[in-house]
Amino acid sequence: MSAANPTLVDDLVVANHILYAEGVVDGFGHISARHPGRSDRFLLARSMAPALVTAGDVMEFDLDGNAAAGDARRPYLERFIHGAIYKARADVHAVVHSHSPSVIPFGVTGGSLRPIYHMSGFLGVGAPIFEIRSAGGMTDMLIRDNALGDALARTLGRGAVALMRGHGSVAVGASIKQVVYRAIYTEMNARLQMEASRLGTIEFLAPEEARLSAAMNDTVLERPWELWKRKVEAHK
């Protein structure tokens, strides 16, 4: 990988481990970061379990999902998710794709995933659901090419999270720390929303409450990051 900021690569590696430790990814799922020096490139590990990623596994791609010249390692099949979103959203510098379990029921029932508490204010008025059948007919559900990636990016729109029916979800952020936070609290919100729905009608955050709490939490992203990082480093 050429001339990428080593701190960013280190953070990307740690982010892979955190997402595993916090139950967002398992053997599958991935996180990328936009190249800090070249906005038309992004960094993503080769096809492997996120918990095992090291700096040497990080590859560089253009926004169409082509690996840097000469890098013949096997890439993730669904790398098109990342490139398509970076193309559509100049404000996005990190993307997480996962199959985190508590989110799946919301994608298949059309039940809107909405912010149940202040930690997930970034969900705004609710996460849109990507219907791959509308974009690609009958598929194996995977984002295998740029056309499907672009369709997913359109569903995401200006939002922070989109659900993918029968598959998983995608979270985006302005930084690695923000997207890790969002991916973890998307999973948490899904779990809590499911529990609350058994008790009765949910009073969700109003759009303005969601906006204000999301802005507040963006000022303290460092705090949970240091904790999550300590936890994965202690288990090395």
Q: Tokens standing for 59? A: 């590859």
Is 203 catalytic? The answer is no
Would you say 229 and 14 are in contact if contact means Cβ atoms under 8 Å apart?
A: yes
Among 119, 44, 49, residue whose Cα is nearest residue 80: 44
CA–CA gap between residue 49 and residue 36 (Å, rounded):
24
Strands (E), the chain: 30-34, 41-45, 58-62, 94-98, 129-130, 161-164, 168-173
Angle at 220 between CA 217 and CA 221, to 5 degrees: 90
List, in order, residues 6 or more apart from 71 with CB less than 8 Å away. 59, 60
Assign 3-class secondary structure to 113-137. CCCCCHHHHHHCCCCCEECHHHHHC
Would you say 111 and 127 are in contact if contact means Cβ atoms under 8 Å apart?
A: no
Would you say 211 and 121 are in contact if contact means Cβ atoms under 8 Å apart?
A: yes
Active-site residue identified among 60, 78, 203, 209:
78
| Amino acid symbol at 201 | T
Quickly tell me which residue has 């990428």 as its tokens: 4
For residue 34, list its beta bridge partners. Answer: 42
**Among all residues, which ones are annotated catalytic?**
78
